[in-house]
C-alpha cells in the first residue's frame, strides 16, 4: 500500500509518500480501504514532534478516514464492503488502515465518505465542546476562536442552532465572511482590539459567557473578554503554547477554565456511535453545512500540510488516495 509518512520531525518537507507492507487484520481489527482522509492540526503537531509517538519510523500520520471494510478478523460487527468512518484510529494517512472494531462507525446511506472524513474528528470535537465541556444554553454570548477553521465553522453553526449569540474571531475579512455565513452574529478580527469589542458585546457590556479557545497563545486575552464568573474552554494550541495561568486570577474573578480532549470522550464504541449519530442528524437536518476547503491527492500531502499551516484555508482539507 501507499502511505504518507515521516521519519524525522520538521516542516511539511519531511513528509514522504512511499510503499509500505499492507496491514494484516489482527484480532479485533478490520482493514479499511480509505476513500477520503481528514487532515487536522493534530497531524501537524505530530509531524513537528510535539506529541509522543510510539514505535519506530517511518511514522504514518493521520487519525481520521472514511472508506470501506476490505477484510476483517472474526467478530467484526460490519460486513466486508460496508462504508465506515474512524475518528481516532492511528496511521490513517494510507490506502489501508487497521482499525479496532470499537472505533468503527457505520456510515448511513446519505452520508458520503468525503463528508464523513470532513466532519468526524472535528465534528465530534465540536459536539462534546457544546454538550460536555460547556453545555451551551440559548441566550448565552459565546466567542469562537478560529471561527473559519474546521472546528470553528462547526462550533459557530451548532452554537447558532442552540440559540446562542455567536462572536467569531478570524484573521481576515474574507474568513470573517465564512464565519458570518455559518451563523456568527458578529465577526471580529485578531488584528483589531477584539478583546474590548467582545467584552462590550456581552450582556450589559460586561463580558461574554464562554470562550472556546483553540489557539492557545491567546489564553489571557480570552480570559479578559469573559464576564465575571465566565468560562474558558481550552482545546487547542494552533497558535503556540498557552501562557501559565495564575489561579489567584481565577479566584479574584470567579472565572474558570476547563480543558478538552476528544480522546477522553471517545471511551467506547457506544460513545463514538451515539455522538456520531448526533452529527449525522445535524447534517441531515441542515444544522451543519460541511465546508471542504480543498482536496489533495495523498501523494501531495506535503502541500496539504503547508496550506493548513498557512491559515489561508477555511473549512476542511481532505487527502484522497489513488482509487484507480
CATH of the domain at 64: 3.90.180.10
Q: Residue 192: phi, psi to the nearest 5? A: -100, 180
Same domain, 227 and 158: yes
Q: What cell does 294 get?
A: 480543498
Parent domain of 283: 2-120+266-320
Within-domain flag for 126: no
Alpha-carbon gap, residue 50 to 237, rounded angstroms? 11
Residues 14, 53: one domain? yes
User: Do 270 and 204 fall into the same domain?
Assistant: no
Cβ-in-10-Å burial (0-12, 13-18, 19+) of 89 comes to buried
Last residue of a domain, one of 243, 259, 275: 259
Number of domains in the chain: 2
CA nearest to 150, candidates 133, 173, 132, 129: 129
Residues 201, 203, 206, 212, CA torsion sign: negative
**Same domain as 254, residue 152:** yes
30 in a domain, yes or no? yes
For residues 169 and 150, state if they share a domain.
yes
pLDDT one digit per residue (tens) for the chain, 324 residues? 999 999 999 999 999 999 999 998 899 999 999 999 999 988 988 899 877 777 789 999 899 999 999 999 999 999 999 999 999 989 999 999 999 999 999 999 999 999 999 999 999 999 999 999 999 999 999 999 999 988 999 999 999 999 999 999 999 999 999 999 999 999 999 999 999 999 999 999 999 999 999 999 999 999 999 999 999 999 988 888 899 999 999 999 999 999 988 989 999 999 999 999 999 999 999 999 998 989 999 999 999 999 998 877 777 999 999 865
CB 245 within 8 A of CB 218: no
Span between the terminal Cα atoms of the chain, in Å: 13
Choosing from 224, 243, 259, the residue where a domain stops is 259
> Is the domain of 215 the same as that of 272?
no
Residue 82 lies in a domain: yes
Give a yes or no: residue 131 inside a domain. no
**207 close to 228: Cβ distance less than 8 angstroms:** yes
Cβ atoms of residues 168 and 180 within 8 Å: yes
What is the CATH number for 247?
A: 3.40.50.720
Are 152 and 233 part of one and the same domain? yes
User: Are 282 and 244 contained in the same domain?
Assistant: no
Q: Is residue 193 domain-shared with residue 273, that is, in the same domain?
A: no
- Does 128 fall in a domain? no
Closest CA relative to residue 100, chosen from 110, 86, 114, 112: 86
Residues 272, 274, 278, 284, Cα dihedral to 10°: 100
Amino acid at each position: 500500500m501507499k502511505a504518507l509518512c515521516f521519519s524525522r520531525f520538521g516542516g511539511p518537507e519531511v513528509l514522504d509518500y512511499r510503499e509500505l507492507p499492507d496491514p494484516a487484520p489482527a484480532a479485533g481489527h478490520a482493514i479499511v480501504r480509505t476513500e477520503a482522509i481528514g487532515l487536522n492540526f493534530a497531524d501537524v503537531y505530530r509531524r513537528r514532534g510535539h506529541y509522543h509517538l510510539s514505535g519506530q519510523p517511518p511514522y504514518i500520520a493521520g487519525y481520521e478516514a472514511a472508506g470501506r471494510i476490505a477484510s476483517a478478523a472474526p467478530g467484526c460487527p460490519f460486513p466486508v464492503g460496508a462504508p465506515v468512518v474512524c475518528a481516532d484510529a492511528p496511521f490513517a494517512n494510507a490506502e489501508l488502515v487497521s482499525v479496532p472494531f470499537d472505533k468503527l462507525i457505520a456510515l448511513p446511506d446519505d452520508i458520503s465518505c468525503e463528508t464523513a472524513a470532513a466532519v468526524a474528528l472535528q465534528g465530534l470535537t465540536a459536539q462534546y465542546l457544546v454538550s460536555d465541556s460547556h453545555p451551551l444554553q440559548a441566550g448565552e454570548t459565546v466567542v469562537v476562536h478560529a471561527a473559519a477553521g474546521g472546528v470553528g465553522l462547526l462550533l459557530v453553526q451548532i452554537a447558532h442552532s442552540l440559540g446562542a449569540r455567536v462572536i467569531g474571531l478570524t484573521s481576515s475579512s474574507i474568513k470573517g465572511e465564512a464565519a458570518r455565513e455559518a451563523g456568527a452574529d458578529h465577526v471580529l478580527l485578531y488584528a483589531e482590539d477584539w478583546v474590548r469589542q467582545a467584552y462590550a458585546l456581552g450582556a450589559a457590556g460586561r463580558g461574554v459567557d464562554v470562550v472556546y479557545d483553540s489557539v492557545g497563545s491567546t489564553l489571557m486575552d480570552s480570559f479578559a473578554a469573559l464576564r465575571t464568573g465566565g468560562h474558558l474552554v481550552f482545546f487547542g494550541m494552533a497558535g503556540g503554547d498557552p501562557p501559565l495561568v495564575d489561579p489567584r486570577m481565577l479566584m479574584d474573578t470567579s472565572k474558570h477554565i476547563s480543558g478538552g480532549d476528544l480522546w477522553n470522550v471517545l471511551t467506547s464504541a457506544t460513545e463514538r456511535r451515539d455522538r456520531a449519530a448526533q452529527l449525522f442528524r445535524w447534517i441531515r437536518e441542515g444544522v451543519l453545512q460541511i465546508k471542504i476547503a480543498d482536496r489533495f491527492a495523498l501523494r501531495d500531502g506535503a502541500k496539504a500540510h503547508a496550506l493548513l499551516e498557512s491559515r489561508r484555508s477555511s473549512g476542511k482539507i481532505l487527502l484522497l488516495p489513488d482509487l484507480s
